[in-house]
Structure 1
Amino acid sequence: MIDPQRVDDAKRALGARLAAWRNARGLTQLALARRVPVSRTTIAGVERGQQCPDRIFWQRCEAALAAGGELLAGYDDYRRLKQQLDQEKVEAAQRVRWGEVEDYSLPAGTHGVPVTVAARESLRDLAATDLTSSGPNGLTAPLARVADVAVAGETDLRDGDAVTLAVMSDGQAMSLRVSRRALLELAAGLTAVPVVTTTGVSHPRSVDPAVVDHFAELRALLVQADDRLGGLTILSTVEQQIALIAALRRQTRGQLRNRLLSTEARWSEFAGWLSDDLGDRAAGDRWLDRAGSMAQEADDQEFWAYVLTRKAQRMVGTGDEDCVVGLARAASRLPDTPPLVHAFAAIQQAHGSAIAQDASAFQAAVERAHTLVATARPPTWESSALGSFCTRPYLAAQEGEGWLRLNQPRRAIDSFTNAVNTWPDRYRRERGVYLSRTAHAYLAASEPGQAATVAAEALTTATTTGSVRVRRNVTALARRLETFSGQPEVRQLLDQLATSG
C-alpha cells in the first residue's frame, strides 16, 4: 500500500523544484504566473506543496522556464504515485463493499448499551454475528437484520472522533459506537448487507428532536464518502436513511414534523444528485421532484429556492434556455434565498444566456455571481450550507462552460485551467468533470493532442470515482478525436478508454 505521506512528499518536492527553477531564471511568482497564465496565488500554493495542477500547467511552466523536462518528469512521477494510491483506495473501498475488510472493530457503546464485535472480522462474517446488548431488553440483533442506521451522538465531529449510531432492528432501538472513519466504511459496507424493509416495523413512540441534527451530520459524512467511494457504493445507504427519516416523520406532528420533512427533502435531493452522477436521469428526476414537494409542504423556502436552481441546472443540457433562465429567476425571487444560492441561480441564468448566444447577458450574470460570492460569508469546501460549493474555482469552471458555448474556446481554456488548478485535491470527481470539459475546449481550439492528454487524466478520475458523467464526457470527446488517431496522444487515449471498460 502506498503511504499517503509519500505522495504528499512528492508533491512538496515538485513544488520546491518549481521554485528553484523560477529563482534560477530570475522570475518572481507574479511574473511566472503571467506567463503560464494562472494567478500568483496558484504559483505560491504549488511551490508550498499545497496543490498540484494538471499536466497542462507543468507543460507551460516547462516552456516558460526551459527546465529541460525536469518539471514534467517530476509531475509524471507524482501522478503515477497519486494514481496508484487512488487505485489502492478504490480497491480497498470495493473490499469494504463486499465485506472483505480487515481491522474492522466497533468499540463498546454508551448509555448502558455496550456492543462488542470481534476485531479483524470481515463484514460478510459480521453480518451473521450477533450484536448483543446488555440493556434492559437483552436485545440481540444480527447485522444482517438491521433495517436502518442513523447518527445519534455528538456534534462537531472531527476525524478522530467516535460516533454513536442508532440502529433500528425488528422494531427495537440499539446503539453502537464507531469511529468517524469506520462510519464511512460502514456506509459502504451496508450496501452489501441484506436489508429488510421498514414496512410493518414498529418504531419508537416518541422522537427526539435532536435526531434532525444527527441526520444532518450523517448526510455530511456520506457526502464525503461519495467523493471517496463513489455514488454507487453509498446510494443504497442513502435510500435506507430516507426510509428511516420518513418513518420517524410519520410519528410526529407540528414543528418537528416540518423539520423532519425538510431533512427528508435534503436527503432526497442528495439521492437525486447521486442518481444523476450515476447516469440515471429518470431517478434523478423523481428524487428532485420529491425533494421539491417536501420543501414546499414544510414551507422551507430556502431549500425550495435551492431545488428550483438545481432544476434549472439540470435543464442546461437540454438546450431550453428559456426554462433555464425562468427557473433560476424564480429561485432568486423567493424572499429567503441565501446569497450563495442566489449566486448559484445567477450562474444558471448565465448558462441560459450563453445557450441563447447572448454574450453580454452571460457576462453580466457571471459578474453578478462573482459579486454575490465575494460579499457572502466565505464558504468552505467542507461546509454543508446551501450553495457552499459556490466558490471562485466553481465560478471559473462555470464561466468556462459559458465561453465554450459562446464558441470562444481560448477564453474557455483559461477559465477551466484557472478552476482546475485551484480545485481542492480531495474533490477529485468534480475536478475530473472540469478536466473533461477543458479537453473539449482544447479540441474546439484545434489542439487534438492536448485535448487527448487532458482527457486521459479525466478518464483516470472517472475510473477511480465511478463517475458516469466524467466518462460520458470523455467518451463523447473520443468519438470526435477518432479522425486524429494518428497522433500518439489520441491513440493512447483511445486505447485507455478501450481497456478501462
Structure 2
Amino acid sequence: MANSDETKTARCALGRQLAELRKAAGHTQHGLARLVQYGRSSVASTETGHQYPDREFWVRCDSTLQTGGKLVAEYDRIAEHRRRSALQVVGPASRPMALSPTSFDAPRADDAAGLWEHVDSIDARRLALKAAVDDDARLSYLETEIRQAIHDNERLAPAILTTRMRPLRAYVDQLMAGRQHPPQRARLYTAAAHLSGLLAALALDLGAFRVAHAYAAEAFDLADAASEPETQAWARATQSLIAFYTGEYHDALAYAQDGLRRAGTSPQRIRLTINGQARALARLGDRYGVDSAVDRAFAMLSDHPSVTQVSTSLALGPYCEARTAANAATAYLALGRTADVDDHLTVAIAAFDTAGLRGPQALSRLDLATVHLHTDDPEPEQAATLAMQALTLTADQRLESVHQRARQFLAVARPFARQPQLRQVADLLAERTQVSIATPPALPSPS
C-alpha cells in the first residue's frame, strides 16, 4: 500500500466483501449486527467504506459467517501494509537536525519534516482513538437491548433470558476495556449497572443466590462509578429484593433505606419504599413501619404516574399501582392482617391477568390462597385451587419467588393436611423443585 488512497480502496473492497458474505449467509445488516454485538449503522457504514472498525469486529464477523478467517486475514494485510508505508515515509526524516546558529528560528518549509511527525503518523493515531471510542450508535444499541430485556423479564423464562444476556455482558466487558469520552463512559457504566442488576434478578429467579448477590453488588459498584444517584438507587432496590428472598430482612431494609437516601425525588422511591422497606419491615414485625411505608408509596404514585398499566418488576421508571398494591398485600399478609389484603389483591390480580405476566399472577394468587386459610370460615379447597393455578401458570419458568411463596402457603395450610387438593399442591411443588424422595413433603401426611 503505497499511499492513503490505496489503503482506502483496500478498505472499501473489504467492506464490499463483508456485504457479499453476509448476503450469501442470508443475514440482513440488522441481523448480523445483533450477532456480532455491534450497531446496525456500524455494519452498514463498514460495508460502504465509510467506517473501518477494529480487528475484533472482523474476528466476530468471520466467526458468525464461518469464512475461515478471510476477513481478518485481509484486515491484517491492510494494517501491515499501512504500517510499512508509514515507516518508509517517516524513516529518513527521523534523523536529527544539525544544530546551527539559526536552529531555533522558524524552520523553512523544506526543513519542517525534521521538526514534525509525519502526517500519516498523526492520522493513524487519530484513527486509533476514533476506533477505540464507542460512538453513540453502539451505546444506544446497548441501552436499547438492556431496556428490552428488562421489559421481557417475567415474560420469558429466566434461563432463556439469561442465555440472551450473557453475550451482551461479554460485549460490555470489551467496551469497558476500550477508551471513551467521559460522557460516553458514564453511559456505558450506567448500562453495565442495569445489565448486572438484571442478571442478578435472573440468578435469583433460578435460585443461584450467591451469583445473584455478586451481580447485584457489581450493579451498585458500576452505578457508583458512573456517579448516577438514580442508578445507584435502582441497584440498591435490586439488592434489597435479593436480600429479601434470601431471608436477610435486616439487609433488605438497610439496602432500601440507603437507596432512598440516594434517590432524591427519583421515581425509584416508590419501588424502594413498597418493595424494599414495607416487605422487610413486615418480616421484622414492625406494624407501624409497614403502615407508614405503604401510605407513602401510594401517595407517591400521583407524583410519579406510570406510563404503562403494569410496570416492569425492575422498573427504571416509577412503579405502577398494581405493583404497589401487590407488595402492600404481601407485607400485610406477613403481619397476619388479612383484612388489609383483599382490596390490594383485587387491583393487582386484575392488572396482572390483563398483562399476562405469569410470575406476578402466580405470586398474587398464592397470597390470596393464604388469605382463604386465615378467614373465620377457612376455605382450603378454594385456597388449593388458587395455589394450583399459581404453579401451573409458572410451569415453564420455575421461579424461585413462586416456590418460596408456595412453601409459605403450605406451612400455613398444615392444619388442613387431610385435604387431597392440598396434597396435590405439595406434590406438584416437590416435583417442580426436584425435592428428593428422602426429603419430607412440605405438607405432613394425615395421621
TM-score between the two structures when normalised by the length of structure 2 = 0.64
Partner of residue 158 from structure 2, selected from 231, 240, 245? 231
Residue in 1 aligned with 2:437? Answer: none
Partner of residue 393 from structure 1, selected from 322, 342, 352? 322
CA deviations on 1:58-103 (whole Å, 9 max, x unpaired) are: xxxxxxxxxxxxxxxxxxxxxxxxxxxxxxxxxxxxxxxxxxxxxx
Partner of residue 430 from structure 1, selected from 348, 360, 384? 360
CA distance in structure 2 between the partners assigned to 1:222 and 1:404 by the alignment:
31
For 1:39-118, list aligned pairs within 5 A: 113=19
Cα 1:228–1:361 change in 2 (3 A) is closer
CA deviations on 1:386-427 (whole Å, 9 max, x unpaired) are: 543611111111111111121112322442233112224332
Residue in 1 aligned with 2:386? Answer: 454
For 1:350-369, list aligned pairs within 5 A: 350-369=278-297
Cα 1:326–1:494 change in 2 (3 A) is closer
SS of the equivalent of 2:200 reads helix
Question: Any conservation in 1 of the 2:237–2:255 contact (CA below 8 Å)?
Answer: yes
SS of the equivalent of 1:171 reads helix
Residue type of the partner of 2:384? Answer: A
| Structure 1 portions without partners, runs of 5+ | 1-108, 118-129, 136-140, 155-166, 177-201
Task: Decide which structure has greater strand share.
Answer: 1
Q: Aligned-pair distance for 1:495?
A: 4.9
SS of the equivalent of 1:463 reads coil
Residue in 1 aligned with 2:37? Answer: 149
CA deviations on 1:14-37 (whole Å, 9 max, x unpaired) are: xxxxxxxxxxxxxxxxxxxxxxxx
CA distance in structure 2 between the partners assigned to 1:383 and 1:495 by the alignment:
31
Residue type of the partner of 1:401? Answer: T
Residue in 1 aligned with 2:341? Answer: 412
Cα 1:205–1:352 change in 2 (3 A) is closer
SS of the equivalent of 1:229 reads coil
For 1:21-420, list aligned pairs within 5 A: 113=19, 131=25, 148-150=36-38, 152=40, 171-173=59-61, 205-253=132-180, 254-317=182-245, 322-334=250-262, 337-347=264-274, 348-380=276-308, 381=310, 386-388=315-317, 390-420=319-349
Cα 1:351–1:483 change in 2 (3 A) is closer
Q: Aligned-pair distance for 1:372?
A: 1.1
Cα 1:421–1:443 change in 2 (3 A) is same
CA distance in structure 1 between the partners assigned to 2:254 and 2:27 by the alignment:
55
Larger radius of gyration: 2
SS of the equivalent of 2:317 reads coil
CA deviations on 1:262-320 (whole Å, 9 max, x unpaired) are: 11111111110100111111111110111111111111211011112222333335665
Residue type of the partner of 1:426? Answer: G
Q: Aligned-pair distance for 1:115?
A: 6.7
Q: Aligned-pair distance for 1:219?
A: 1.8
Residue type of the partner of 2:364? Answer: Y
Cα 1:375–1:287 change in 2 (3 A) is same
Cα 1:110–1:258 change in 2 (3 A) is farther
TM-score between the two structures when normalised by the length of structure 1 = 0.58
What number of residue pairs does the alignment pair up?
Answer: 336
Q: Aligned-pair distance for 1:473?
A: 2.5
Residue in 2 aligned with 1:493? Answer: 425
CA deviations on 1:453-480 (whole Å, 9 max, x unpaired) are: 1110100122033323213322443465
Residue type of the partner of 1:462? Answer: T
Q: Aligned-pair distance for 1:442?
A: 2.8
CA deviations on 1:346-381 (whole Å, 9 max, x unpaired) are: 222223432343323321211111111111143324
Residue type of the partner of 1:391? Answer: C
Question: Any conservation in 1 of the 2:201–2:238 contact (CA below 8 Å)?
Answer: no
Cα 1:321–1:282 change in 2 (3 A) is closer
Residue in 1 aligned with 2:117? Answer: none
Partner of residue 441 from structure 1, selected from 371, 389, 398? 371
Cα 1:330–1:382 change in 2 (3 A) is closer
Q: Aligned-pair distance for 1:331?
A: 1.7
Question: Any conservation in 2 of the 1:148–1:241 contact (CA below 8 Å)?
Answer: no
Question: Any conservation in 2 of the 1:147–1:168 contact (CA below 8 Å)?
Answer: no
SS of the equivalent of 2:267 reads helix
CA distance in structure 2 between the partners assigned to 1:354 and 1:206 by the alignment:
48
Q: RMSD across aligned C-alpha pairs, in angstroms?
A: 3.9
| Structure 2 portions without partners, runs of 5+ | 1-14, 43-54, 65-75, 77-127, 435-447
Question: Any conservation in 2 of the 1:205–1:251 contact (CA below 8 Å)?
Answer: yes
Aligned-pair identity (%): 20
Residue type of the partner of 2:351? Answer: T
CA distance in structure 2 between the partners assigned to 1:268 and 1:371 by the alignment:
30
Question: Any conservation in 2 of the 1:149–1:168 contact (CA below 8 Å)?
Answer: no
Question: Any conservation in 1 of the 2:252–2:280 contact (CA below 8 Å)?
Answer: yes
